[in-house]
Structures are given as C-alpha cells and as structure tokens.
Amino acid sequence: MMKLRFMAVVVMLLSCTERHKSTAKGSENEYTVESVRASLIRQEDTIIFSVIERARFPLNSPTYHQHYASIPHFSGSLLDVVLDYTEAIQAKFLHTAASSINTNKNIRKVYFHEMLPLFVAFGDDGNYAQTAASDLSILQAISRRIHYGKFVAEAKFRESPRDYEPLIRAKDRKALLKLLTSKNVEEIVVKRVEKKAMVFGQEVSLDHDVKGNYKVDPAIVSRLYKKWIIPMTKNVELEYLLRRLD
C-alpha cells in the first residue's frame, strides 16, 4: 500500500516535470541573465516550502532501504528515476554540452548525509510513503535549481562571449569561475532565502504570540544555499562553459 501511494506521488511529480518541459521549450531562445535569475528566485520558494514540508517527519531511515520504492529492471530507486528524468529534460533545450553534465549522484549524497540531518529530527514515525514523497519533492527542486546552472551559464556566455571564449579555449577553470562569480549576488540570495524562510515557516496561532517560532530554522535554509546549493550550481555553470565551444 505504501508503494502504491508513493507511486501516485511520483506520477504527480512527473506531470509537473512535463509542464516544466513545456515552459522550457517556450522560452528556449530567451536566455538572459535577468530572466534566469528571475527563475532562480521563483525556485527559491519551491525549495523552502519543500524543506518545511520534509521537516514535518523525522529521519525515517527505513525509507532509504534499497528494496523500498525500487522498480523492476532498474538498479536504483524511484528517487533516482525522477531526478535523472528531470535533469534529462533540461538538457534537451540547451547546447549539446548540457547533456553530458549530471551531478545528481553528488546531490543525493550531500542531501542525505549533510543537508537532511540539519533540519529533521532523528527517529521513526512509520510515515515512509510521505517521507519518500517529501524527499522526492525537495530533491527534485534542488536538482532543478543546481542543473539550472546550465541556463545561467548560457545566459552569461551570450551576454559576454568575448570575455568567456578565450578562457574556455584555454580551459582556465580558475579564471572562468572568477568571471562567472558575483559575490554580491550570492550574498543577496543567501539573505533573501533566510528572510523567505522566516515568512514561510512562521508558526501562526490565534491564541498567543508565537513570534520567533519557526518550522525550520531560517539560518539553516540560508546555510543550505551558501554551503551547497550555490557552490554546486556554480560548478555546473563551470562544467557547462568548459564544454560550450565543443
């Protein structure tokens, strides 16, 4: 029964991915730094709400047993299927360099071993299907954001091709990373997601003042971005640019 409920959620998530596919196709030739940043800002909401939803449940480690939510003829779980499918869709709408970049394996490792323990309690309440569905949702959101670095890199390249081309041809990773990095923008993102987490995660009661009580510590959300999400996105940008002229 739990697997059936999980499958239903997966179908819903894949439907959302198909809608994302249609949106991406429609904006295929509209990559600008401004437009991709606007998309990243919208994606912040999805990630924050997903973190808040996942925090409702404890760790529930049986959810991650290999036999749970696995499917026939596939050497992984449904988590793997949905994430890889999402990334593959994004790659279809960019330069061929995009198809060779997939960091989902690293995202899963970082999420389960470093991110998740920061905002969920240890324990087991038996809600494995809901836990798995929540993990799917947040992993898909984080994966989409990080792999969206391909769109960010393409927009930056189109804006200043003369700056990027010599560095790409020289395979100068250090100089490319410096060129595509904006510390001011990164600091704004970190502060914005923390403020959003304060608003979205505020405990609300009509009986008494609960100001300062949050479903997830806003500082943890900003840490997720500063320590992992932003650096991993930049790494995708860098790998994309290194292949851009192939």
How much is the average pLDDT of 180-192? Answer: 97
Residue 214 DSSP label = B
DSSP 58-70: ---GGGGSTTTTB
Prediction pTM value: 0.81
How much is the average pLDDT of 53-81? Answer: 72
Percent of the chain residues past pLDDT 90, beyond the cut: 57
Indicate the pLDDT class of residue 62, thresholds 50, 70 and 90.
confident
CATH number at residue 207: 1.10.590.10
Calculate the average pLDDT of the chain: 83
Indicate the pLDDT class of residue 87, thresholds 50, 70 and 90.
low
- 130: helix, strand or coil: helix
Whether the per-residue pLDDT at 74 is higher than 70: the answer is no
Which residues constitute the domain of residue 63? 2-243
Indicate the pLDDT class of residue 31, thresholds 50, 70 and 90.
confident
Whether the per-residue pLDDT at 71 is higher than 50: the answer is yes
What total number of domains does the chain contain?
1
Spatial neighbors of 200 by CB under 8 A, at least 6 apart, are 45, 48, 49, 52
Q: What pLDDT, on the 0 to 100 scale, is given for residue 28? A: 47
Task: For residue 93, give the nearest of 26, 34, 173, 160 by alpha carbon.
Answer: 26
Spatial neighbors of 141 by CB under 8 A, at least 6 apart, are 43, 46, 47, 50
Burial grade of 213 (CB within 10 A; 0-12, 13-18, 19 or more): exposed
Q: Which residue has the higher pLDDT, 234 or 246?
A: 234
Q: Are 61 and 155 in contact (CB under 8 A)?
A: no
Q: What pLDDT, on the 0 to 100 scale, is given for residue 27? A: 46
